[in-house]
Structure 1
Amino acid sequence: MEFFKTSEGKLGKLFETEAFVEKVSFLDVTEYHEDNIRNVFEQCIKSFIDSNWEATEVVWEEKTSVEKAIANQEPKMLSIVIKKTASRNLYYYGDNQLSYEQLEAKLNMIPESIPEVKKAKRYSRFVTFFASTGGFLIGYPLGEAIGGAEEPSWDLAATGVIGLFFGKRFMKLTDKHYEKAVEIYNSKAIIL
């Protein structure tokens, strides 16, 4: 396929096969499609006007097995379920466990829950900072001790434990705000 310039300066395509060579410009294609769209639109409007705005009854002969199964189902609430564990909350949508990104995407669908999600995200940054810093401060002296250092820096490990303590506190605040956002989401959940 090669490109060529039309007399209007626009690009066109040259289609070449063993049977034929044809030049098609962008202008030709759009005019052809616009004519087709215009014709279909005019036919739709004409059919609508001819119907005198009367509703017509559609009769279904037989429902398929899938349609029958859907019709017999009970309404299902699309809600997020919280499962509390010792370290953090787990969030489920149906049978699927949600990551924090997926949870935030679901919660951001309801405008009333967005402020709580923002607060939870703010606290989760502190969780990340304190947990990673605390883990490093505990791991460094342990590495020294395993490596055979005469006097590992155990004061760093104590500082790391304090960092983990603060990380745990901020995790509780994060979960508290996510719980509020989930509560708002579930109160506005859609019934299928």
Structure 2
Amino acid sequence: MHTIIFDIGNVLIGWNPLLLYNKVFDTPEEAEWFVKNITHLDWNEEQDRGRPVAKATELLVAEHPKWEREIRMYYDRWTEHFSGAIPGTVEILKTLHAGGNYRLLALTNWSAELFPWARENFDFLELFEDIMVSGEVKMKKPEAEIFHHLAKVYDLGDFSGCLFIDDSLRNCAMARSLGLDTIRFENPEQLLQELKERGVKVELS
């Protein structure tokens, strides 16, 4: 194995819009309904593909005017979606970087407008050789084209010797179909165990 590719959201940095909307709505059930049915994944992923957040907000407000106040909160209070770094995974990344045995890349679905905030607030992102941000390349996971683009940009060939780590089942399924070894991330302890099973040199202090 020569290259390890990390997802960022919910692998290295905790993200969940419910962290915001549980403050906004009276019950968890109301918050969950809103996130699932109004600010849903398909809408959010178009920003990951490069759609401007201002345009996305206006489109959704026009579709659901009853929820204008709550919709505008999505990006007005966007940083409240985050729970911070996931310490165990960050420690794994730091150990891999210190060992110097692998290329370390990241592939993230993230708005190009918003990703600078992550770079400013999480210095461990500097440990990656590079980060491919979906909103910057106008492609997103789990579409095959972003993986092909990744292979081309970083000269990864047919992905032999590459390991991809992501919390999404569908992203991992696409990656596997294209020749990547994959670990579906659940928690840092499980990740560490699966890395060791693959012979990855990672020894935490």
TM-score range, shorter chain: under 0.3
Higher helix share: 1
* Rg larger for: 1
